[in-house]
Structure 1
Amino acid sequence: MNKLDAIFSPQSVAVIGASSTPGKVGHDIFANILRGGFKGVLYPVNPTARSILSVKAYPSVTDIPDPVDLAMIILPPKLARTAVADAIQKGVKGIVIVSAGFREVGKAGRDIEDQIVEMCRKADIRLIGPNCLGVINPLTSVSLNASFSSRMPKAGNISFISQSGALCTAVLDFAADRDFGFSKFISIGNKADVDELDLLRYFHRDFDTEVIMIYLEELRRGPEFIEEVKKITSGDRPTPILVIKSGRTAAGAQAAASHTGSLAGSEAVYDSIFEQAGIIRVDSINDLFDFASTFAYKNESMLGKFRRKIPEGNRVAIVTNAGGPGIVATDMTISSGLQLAEFKEDTIETLASHLPAAANLHNPVDVIGDAAQDRYENALAAVIRDEGVDGALVILTPQSMTNALGTAEAVVSIARRTHKPILCCFMGIVDVSSGVKHLQENGIPVFRFPEAAARAFGTLYRYSQWLNRQSLAQFTLSHDVAGARDIINDCLERGRTRLGEFEGLRLLACYGFDVLPTELAATDAEAVAAADRIGYPVVLKIVSPQILHKSDAGGVKIGMKDAAAVRKAFNQIVEGARKYRADAEIEGVLVQKMAEPGREVILGANRYPVFGPLIMFGFGGIFVEVFKDVSFRLAPIGRNEARRMMRKIMGYKLLRAFRGRPESDLATVERLLVSLSDMVVNHSEIQELDINPLLVHEQGRGATVADCRMILKAADGVVA
């Protein structure tokens, strides 16, 4: 038995802090449980009241003569701490603290919250809250509304988790308007004990939950969250998870010394977590409900078994009785990552035999405004059988010959005979209400507008891609971890926390990066001697802690083919650096073998509290902050995540073969991304780094580091 069962399906509930005064939270929560038809036993606890709503009250939870599963506590912090101690003494199995005034108000409240958590952990009792709405289980076997929301939602197969109690009441009102049902509904407030991951694990094992929705403000776990949730979204019984997170448009990235640091804001971290875990992020409450109802699409087949309808591909057939909505649906279908299916010849012949001459037989299929249910039924049956169709969208507008209920019945009948998803858009409210009701009762997703239906179908397809993703064999890599640690320790001992190429290239070489022969020259004579040893042509680059972006200071000269060119370039670089920044400490000029041409990409990392290092890949060179064509993943990553993050950027097409240009060495880039992940995981001193550009050569010829910079965190945590 799971410890959270006592919270979601208790046999008995004690409301500690129950009040006889209407309008007070203690009164309203008790009244909501009582009037919600709770199937267990309910006890009000109030030391000054004989009864609450005609139910005998007890001075303390310890005075209740029978066992208590769940204690709902609605008391100020200090009194709540005493109530928790009493509840533990009583032997309760779960606690929900609704009241506020804990960590969210300052140190004193946080101290009490921490004490309560310690008490509960010692007693092996799970705690929800504090500062939360409460918990609701509308299933008829429980009927528990242990919250200060007066509305008991309809029972369904979708569970909802929220950090915001205030949002919960609005969501419940929205759900009632849409006749939307829940399996479990919970607000977690401060997450002192039970958090999102605990609830995701619980709901995944709950056979009454088919889809999980989350309203999220912040996470307190990183890599662990990804690995655990990945099992939930893609295991033996995958459970779709939809999240809406606040703060998407908030300024996240701060001023930083690296490109990665300036591009990687907090939302990049969350997007990475969601993508790596298989969580689908949505932009609005409306989309949250639309997509949840689509994922809950699990109707009964002809064999009597229930199955979720997930498309195998992105080819959609549209059947409509109006041209305008069909065009809108077509546009939204394409913009949602889908494509219009091309019908086979026998499908077109079948359509022609059932539809009038004026009908459009190609996708989208227009059955004409006077279509009765038989036209819809024949057209939908024909297209859904087509091997080139992965699912269908049925659009109905109310016209004189329209039979909304009959059409809905035909859709339900066909849906039971196919494994392909069928989504509906019945436009209007009153005239199509009977058809909409029939579709909803039979688990068919139905929308008021075609664009919403197309977006929902696109989200289904994205989830299908997640479920059917390929798994590559991982790289077997060998790194010189000890050598890298020696380099880092040496730099920190010398007070060097901002590393340029001279030290950075040595560090990257320990992790299998192909670096160019490089020497540091203090004079033009030393530069010439170094170039002679390295071999021409060479590149010269300024080395100064105060000049991070070398090109801005004219600090890079390429293609030096002889000693005279090297000497001239050296002096130009030094003079330009002094003009660019008079106080710059010029350590010298790097002389480096000139790399073979390649396509420029950037690899980077930036370390975050709690979450750890975030890896970046993108279109590189001087345009990285112009185009910002980058993708992120939270380390550690393996080969599969490396490939997915590479394919996410628009510039990935430039790495493939096109217009006579050869394919780039993509396998090497995948390996280097994994090596970079290993490096920043193994060496927590690395705070930020850029490898920009990494020159990717044609297939089979590897990739070369052309420039890099790193920032280390000193032993005292200070970045110089």
Structure 2
Amino acid sequence: MSEAAPETPLPPHHWEADVLLLDGGTAHIRPIRPDDAAGLEQFYARVSDRSKYYRFFAPRPKLSTREIAIFTRVDHTNRIAFVMELAGRIIAVGRFDVVAPGEAEVAFLVEDRHQGRGIAQILLEHLAQAGRERGVRRFTADVLPDNKRMIATFEAAGYQVMGGVEDGVMTLGFDIDPTTTAIGVMQDREHRSESAAIAQFLAARSVAVIGASRRQGSIGQALVRNLVTGDFTGRVYAVNPAGESVSGLAAYATVGEIPDEVDLAIVAVPADAVQDVVLDCAAKGVKGLVVISSGFAETGDEGRQRQRKLVGLARSYGLRLIGPNCLGVINTDPDVSINASLSPHMPARGRAGFFCQSGALGSAILDKVNARGLGLSTFVSAGNRADVSGNDLLQYWEEDDSTEVVLLYMESMGNPRKFSRIARRVSRKKPIVAVRSGRTTQGVPMGHQVRTAMTPPGAVDAMFRQAGVIQVDTLEEMFDVAQVLAHQPLPGGRRVAIVGNSDAIGLLARDASASSGLVVAKQFDLGARATAADFEAALREAIASDDIDAVVAVWLPPLNTSAAEPATALAAAAATSTKPIVSTFLGEKGVPPQLRVRDASGGAAGRGSVPSYPAVESAVRALAKVVEYAVWLRLPQHEAAEVLVDPVGGREVVEQVLTLAPRGRVLEYAEARDLLAAYGMELWPSLPADTVEDAIAAASDLGWDVVLKATADRFRQRPDLVHSWRHIRDAGEMRQAWALLRGRVEHPDEAAFVVQPTAPQGVPVSITAEEDPLFGPVISFGIAGPVSELLGDRSWRIPPLSIHDARAMTREIKGSPMLFGYRGSDIVDVDAVEDLLLRVARLKNDLPQVHNISLPLVLASPTGASVLSASIRVQPVTDARADWFARRLNPLPGDTLH
């Protein structure tokens, strides 16, 4: 009886992903399987002879059965291969074979018609990440010298490629550690790909409305009407089964019958018919889908499964998708002028790009925009956010010259770590204003499926601040802030002048300024009898002053007087001002017609228009938010701080532990000491003592002047409990300390006594870092002790950290005065504390196998920071981080996040 063939081991789940190509199309990447034999053979038959020759260095018209078996049966450890699929067909293969410890030979083959779409680069990224997880540190590749495309692939990856030519073959070699250059190259490609994908929606030249209808009041009819009346510059096609004309347009029974190319499909058919529409659109070559239809994840389990199938099907055929259950998309650019939404009104042309997840709120939001005279460049309602998300829009708006301000109404975050990374970069160019619903409860709408974050709300707020995002609580406040950003210059500082003809409102403005962190440098109380000329003179004096950074203007005209003259005065002063002006003018909201400066297009109010607020407190709060953003902009660039570390040594410690304990465990003292040492941190010696003789021996080994303390969990971070004795200098003092401490603590045999060298007296602080399911690594800092824990007095950040991030963490907690000489105490070495923060953040960012790290007791003294204790748990990585070193789209609804 023949032996059964050995089972092929299963690869990690996170090695499978949807990916985005350079042109904005999608594909699917996954480990190769034995049942890919037929698909691989068909793929190889479609590849040109030239590409085959470049791959194998010899004519090879077809693969033998033996070769196919070798290529499709891998062990996912020493032999790893990925295939890329589109529409169920293999379009590329990439693989590596380990040839020496830590070294593997890599090769690719891409179907000719798909070359130039960035496929080889994506395969290289995913193979390199899989290699790192399997202990591979270096790739080599044999390439023919005239295979310029493949050589360029390796060189463009950002790795340092070395090689030479022997026997007519060029051998290239490069380390695959994710260097700053390699990560930058990957993120640049990601940016271009995601921006290109969104451009397919917002710059479409032809649109098909699938589900168009002649029925009055129907969604399909509204979509056609809004496209036509919105003066869309491209072509509109109506698609309905009956083939009847809709709103004067000839209709087609299916999208496939349309004789011309179709860039974008707007889908408004029953939910159970949407999948058939996807197949029709894929066959037609449509590039993007906007699914208005409801009946998906927002309806329950059945809808969630339907949504999952919809997104998977769209991506498998190379399509991006907005929605489902969304309002649609709008671009006010006169060269496009597309209103592919259910909103009957096209917003005026403006400077703000708006991303909204809620379809139900979308129309109300657009009404508010119009009422305030704000104007938009583009608008996207993502509905259930099953595919396209706010991160995609940020990538597009970053380079969009028409968008100067980004507005986000967020009901959930699918990949906050990626959002943080992108927002940090975009905020340097353009302000981002965000409303985040569920901010306290962390709840999400039923249609939005994301993994639950373990991170507290304070950490999420800190992430927004770290990224320079202006976070507000309400939509009204978002528009208040947006009006300043869209129409006024940024302030140079916190000093404001209040100019007005109402003493009472002037006092309210002063109070609001003080509570918002602004400094009132001067107040012009003009009185109720002030004229427009008085108003203008005071405004110009305030603007001209070097001691003033912004102006709050208040004008409430007396009875039976015209508003024209003061409006002219305010507009004239604002027209020449390089400082922002906000106003409470006639109690109006938005930009009153009298204070508007028209754009060249004649649309919404342009730069120099003066925003007005019914309540002066709203004006001041909006200005204060803009001031905080301007201050953030003046901070040094948020590049990761450079600290001298040994990541290879740290990785070796972790890998050795996981070899002995595959499921992971808490590190023993020596292991924790070595891991911290690799990252430049010294863990204070700590010797266990079960008996007084053990304690004496330990103290002798340490050279005396030691501490005896209990370290059981109930004593940690409890300065109110007497559980330690300092400065023990000989055996007699140790016996005395042993007897006294054992008498003072309950259950002394369970107290876990240790002996340590006496550390300098200082302020106890704690540093923790952990892996969050959504955010990846999160680091926190606070004064050690139960009071800080109970009050939640901790600062939070998302690695990587800049030096400014570390400095902010030590200063923004309420207990920070204890570090800076509170009530005459010594000022501690805060630089040493911040250095520890940077090193812990670097360790956690480098090593996802470190599930959590806690330094619960660090004594910060005037001479340094002593790490007295550490608890570190390592465990295998089962899911890749949401923002790994290989590009991937957000997972399908219901999938594990990766």
What range describes the TM-score normalised by the shorter chain of this pair? 0.7 to 0.9
1:201 matched to 2:368? The reply is: no
**Deviation (angstroms), 1:91:** 2.5
| Cross-structure match for 1:354 | none
Q: 1:558 to 1:716 in 2, by over 3 A?
A: farther
Q: 2:612 aligns with which of 446, 450, 473?
A: 446
Of residues 560-569 and 322-331 in structure 1, the stretch that sits farther from structure 2 once superposed is: 560-569
Which amino acid counterpart does residue 267 of structure 1 have in structure 2? P
For the residues of structure 2 that align with 1:709 and 1:555, how far apart are their CA atoms? 22
Work out whether 1:246 is the aligned partner of 2:246.
no
TM-score, structure 2 as length reference: 0.68
Indicate yes or no: 2:557 matched with 1:557.
Answer: no
- Counterpart of 2:464 (choices 268, 271, 274) is 274
Classify the secondary structure of the residue corresponding to 1:296. Answer: helix
Opposite residue 685 of structure 2, the aligned amino acid is: P
Match of 1:284 among 451, 474, 482: 474
Select which of 291, 313, 321 maps to 1:127: 321
Cα distance change, pair 164–572 in 1 and its aligned pair in 2 (3 A): farther
Shift of 1:563: 3.5
Which residue matches 2:784? 620
1:393 deviates by 1.1
Aligned positions of 1:13-24 closer than 5 A: 13-24=207-218
**1:399 match: secondary structure:** coil
Of 315, 320, 328, the residue aligned with 2:495 is 315
| Structure 1 residues 574 and 79, CA gap change in structure 2 (3 angstroms) | farther
Question: What CA deviation, in whole Å up to 9, does each residue of 1:515-548 have, x standing for no partner?
Answer: 323211122210122123324443333355x657
Counterpart mapping for 1:374-413 below 5 A: 374-400=533-559, 403-413=562-572
- Give the deviation of 1:672 after TM superposition: 1.1
Distance 1:66 1:251, change over 3 A: closer
User: Which of 497, 516, 525 matches 1:336?
Assistant: 516
Secondary structure in structure 1 of the residue aligned to 2:547:
coil
Range with greater deviation from structure 2 (81-90 or 142-151): 142-151
1:595 correspondence with 2:775: no
Return the alpha-carbon distance in structure 1 between the equivalents of residues 569 and 517 of structure 2: 28
| Partner residue of 1:706 out of 868, 871, 890 | 868
Q: Answer yes or no: is the 8 Å Cα contact 1:58–1:64 preserved in 2.
A: yes
CA distance in 2, matches of 1:715, 1:45: 48
Post-superposition offset of 1:110:
5.3
- 1:498 CA displacement: 4.3
Residue 573 (structure 1) shift: 5.7
State the match for 1:295 in structure 2: 485
Q: CA deviation at 1:47?
A: 0.7
Deviation track 1:427-467 (CA, whole Å, cap 9, x = no partner) reads 4359x966456795652222121111111111111111122
SS at 2:252 equivalent: coil
- With over 3 angstroms needed to count, the CA separation of the structure-2 counterparts of 1:136 and 1:490, relative to structure 1, is closer
State which of 831, 837, 842 in structure 2 corresponds to 1:678.
842
| Matched letter for residue 646 of structure 2 | H
Could you tell me which amino acid in structure 2 is paired with residue 297 of structure 1? H
Residues 819 and 830 of structure 2 are in contact (CA less than 8 Å); yes or no, is this contact kept in structure 1?
A: yes
Counterpart of 1:464 in structure 2 is 630
Q: Does structure 2 conserve the Cα–Cα contact (< 8 Å) formed by 1:502 and 1:518?
A: no
1:51 alignment counterpart: 245
Greater shift in the superposed pair: 203-212 or 102-111: 102-111
Q: Is contact 2:394–2:422 with CA below 8 Å preserved after alignment?
A: no
Gaps of 5+ in 1: 253-262, 299-308, 342-362
What CA distance in whole angstroms lies between the structure 2 residues aligned with 1:684 and 1:214?
A: 30
2:288 corresponding residue in structure 1: 94
Does residue 325 (structure 1) correspond to residue 519 (structure 2)? The answer is no
Deviations 1:148-176 (A, max 9, x none): 23343333221110111112122123334
RMSD: 3.3
2:687 is aligned to 519
Task: Name the amino acid aligned to 2:633.
Answer: L
Q: Secondary structure at the match of 1:388?
A: coil
Q: Partners of 1:248 and 1:118 in 2: how far apart?
A: 30
After superposing the two structures, state which structure 1 stretch, 631-640 or 492-501, moved more.
492-501
CA contact (8 A) 2:207 2:234 kept: yes
Give the structure-1-normalised TM-score. 0.84
Cα 1:176–1:475 change in 2 (3 A) is closer
Question: Once the 2 structures are TM-superposed, how far is the Cα of residue 249 of structure 1 from its aligned partner?
Answer: 1.4
2:645 to 474, 478, 484: 478
- Cα distance in 2 between the residues matched to 1:411 and 1:312: 21
Please name the residue that 2:42 is paired with.
none
Deviates further, 650-659 or 269-278: 650-659
Judged with a 3 Å threshold, the aligned counterparts in structure 2 of structure 1 residues 598 and 135 are, in CA distance, closer, same or farther, namely same
Q: Distance in 2 between matches of 1:333 and 1:7?
A: 43
Distance in 1 of aligned mates of 2:372 and 2:499: 25
The aligned residue for residue 214 of structure 1 is 408
Maintained 8 Å contact 2:643/2:838: no
Map of 1:419 onto structure 2: 578
CA 1:604–1:436: 2 relative to 1, 3 Å: same
* DSSP 3-state at the match of 1:364: strand
Higher deviation after alignment, 683-692 or 652-661: 652-661
Q: 1:506 to 1:528 in 2, by over 3 A?
A: farther
Cα separation, partners in 2 of 1:25 and 1:203, compared to 1, 3 Å: same
* Number of residue pairs aligned between Structure 1 and Structure 2: 665
- When structure 1 is superposed on structure 2, of 671-680 and 506-515 the one drifting more is 506-515
Asked if 1 retains the 8 angstrom alpha-carbon contact of 2:231 and 2:337, the reply is yes
**Greater Cα offset, 164-173 or 239-248:** 164-173
Residues 386-423 of structure 1 deviation map (CA, whole Å, 9 limit, x = unaligned): 11111211111121485433222222222232311122
Is the alpha carbon distance of 1:443 and 1:270 closer, same or farther for their aligned partners in structure 2, counting shifts above 3 Å?
A: same
Distance in 2, matches of 1:392 and 1:30, equals 46
Partner of 1:694: 858
| Structure 2 stretches lacking a partner, 5+ long | 1-22, 24-195, 444-452, 599-604, 880-898
